[in-house]
Amino acid sequence: MKTLYLIRHAKSDWSDGSLSDFERGLKKRGHKDLETISSYMSLQRLKPDLILSSLALRAQTTADILAKKIEYEGRIHYMAELYNTRPEKIINILTLQDDGYSSIFLVGHNPELTEFANFLVKENFAKMPTLGVLAIGLEINSWSEISEKCGKVEFFIQPKQFRYYMPKQIRTTLPIKEQQES
């Protein structure tokens, strides 16, 4: 069995109209949400064997901060192919991964991640929100076996879940400045 974590990048910053879509970074809220979600993932001891990320700046930043917070020591593979792509291309990328990897974080964009999630699982996702994390248990032994509806949802989290109530364990892992704003 393999586990795939589909992670949409954190909230992006549209304030600088001179930047292309590819060059946009994260908003202040995106950074705040990233601290919360990465704290949760750290507490759950979620650590992949591999991180694949879109080459777009907002996805790279999301992958970098998340990796640091969960103390991921492997290499992050930044891929232009994960930006503005079709689910078929994502399948091709995953089928080429080493079967020694049991779990993969895939940091990308919408609508691609939503379409890919709907390909993998029976449940229907209307839209993957920014910094949504969908963990999918894949009933496969090799990444080359990925097929339609081969997965089951293990969990789904998003920043909105923590806006009004944040468990004490997560609050204590956030930087002090962040705690004062909550």
CB 34 within 8 Å of CB 133: no
Q: What is the pTM of this model?
A: 0.88
Domains for the chain: give ranges and CATH numbers: 2-49+56-72+89-98+115-146+161-181 (3.40.50)
Assess whether pLDDT exceeds 90 at residue 168.
no
- The vertex-12 CA angle with 7 and 13, nearest 5°, equals 170
pLDDT tens sequence across 61-82 = 999 999 999 999 999 999 999 9
Give the per-residue pLDDT at 13: 87
Q: How does the average pLDDT of the chain come out, rounded? A: 90
Give the per-residue pLDDT at 179: 44
CB 136 within 8 Å of CB 82: no
Residues 45-73 have a mean pLDDT of 96
Residues 27-56 have a mean pLDDT of 94
CB 137 within 8 Å of CB 1: yes
Q: How confident is the model at residue 165 (pLDDT cuts 50, 70, 90)?
A: low
What are the CA-CA distances from residue 165 to residues 25, 159, 171, 172 (Å)? 27, 11, 10, 13
